[in-house]
């Protein structure tokens, strides 16, 4: 149902920008990062920014820092609130003027989806996402893909709602074997490639009940439902159907 990790182009622009939330001052703008996208059980404090284009050495400590994920047009496509950061070691400048490595001590949040690092590079490339692209990644990446979808959706100031106009939404059960995969498929079916329509049952309820956008779809048809049913927990499927009934969405499985 899913393939190998797609090859993503090397980044040659500041993909990660750390700034002071209050003033907007940029602390570091770099092409890469180490130690931020880590599994929950990893206890790291140092985060290193690689090939930094810009470094503010005068401010060694910020209490409310944010990390923005930027695309080639310097538009923010993702954002993480970090909290307190303290500047550590700073490497030497390379011949091109960039600094090879800048270390910060992070006291706040990190992203607990290591796979999101690769996915953000794809997201920030400037190349339009294609329908079904989430299926090209390994199944183990689906939670991270859903995380990036949700983060980017709200960073771009879109609300949890339906923005498409189709009254009937079709889901392909042959490609849905995880809960994250269900929400990836549903978000794409409702709001297009890279679209968001919930990341859990509570969020799904918010999306369906929102009075923003076009309102909930009239009907959802889950094709090859038995294929999904073989993988997904029955209680989860029952809860999905219950949410649909609550908001009068015609929910059909076939």
* pLDDT score of 211: 61
In tens, the pLDDT along 161-188 reads 888 888 899 999 999 999 999 999 999 9
Q: Across the chain, what does the average pLDDT equal?
A: 92
* pLDDT score of 250: 93
* pLDDT score of 76: 96
List the chain domain ranges.
16-117, 158-253
Question: 158-253, which class in CATH?
Answer: alpha beta
CB 11 within 8 A of CB 24: no
State pTM to two decimals: 0.94
Q: Is the pLDDT of residue 1 over 60?
A: no
Q: Is the pLDDT of residue 148 over 90?
A: yes
In tens, the pLDDT along 45-61 reads 799 999 999 999 888 89
In tens, the pLDDT along 112-132 reads 999 999 999 999 998 999 999
């Amino acid at each position: 149902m899913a393939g190998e990790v797609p090859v993503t182009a090397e980044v040659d622009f500041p993909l990660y920008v750390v700034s002071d939330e209050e003033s907007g001052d940029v602390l570091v703008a770099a092409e890469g990062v180490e130690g931020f996208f880590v599994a929950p059980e990893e206890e790291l404090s140092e985060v290193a920014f690689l090939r930094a284009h810009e470094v503010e050495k005068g401010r060694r400590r910020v209490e409310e820092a944010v990390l923005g994920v930027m695309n080639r047009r310097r538009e923010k496509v993702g954002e993480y609130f970090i909290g307190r950061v303290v500047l550590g070691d700073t490497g030497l400048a390379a011949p091109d003027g960039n600094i090879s490595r800048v270390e910060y001590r992070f006291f706040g949040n990190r992203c607990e989806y290591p796979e999101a690092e690769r996915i953000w590079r794809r997201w920030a490339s400037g190349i339009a996402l294609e329908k079904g692209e989430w299926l090209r990644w390994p199944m183990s990446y689906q939670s991270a893909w859903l995380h990036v979808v949700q983060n980017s959706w709200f960073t771009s100031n879109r609300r949890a709602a339906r923005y498409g106009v189709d009254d009937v939404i079709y889901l392909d059960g042959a490609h849905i074997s995880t809960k994250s995969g269900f929400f990836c498929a549903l978000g794409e079916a409702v709001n297009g490639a890279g679209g968001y329509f919930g990341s859990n049952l509570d969020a799904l309820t918010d999306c369906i009940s929102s009075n923003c956008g076009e309102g909930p779809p009239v009907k959802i048809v889950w094709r090859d439902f038995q294929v999904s049913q073989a993988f997904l927990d029955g209680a989860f499927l029952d809860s999905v159907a219950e949410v649909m009934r609550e908001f009068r969405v015609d929910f059909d499985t076939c």
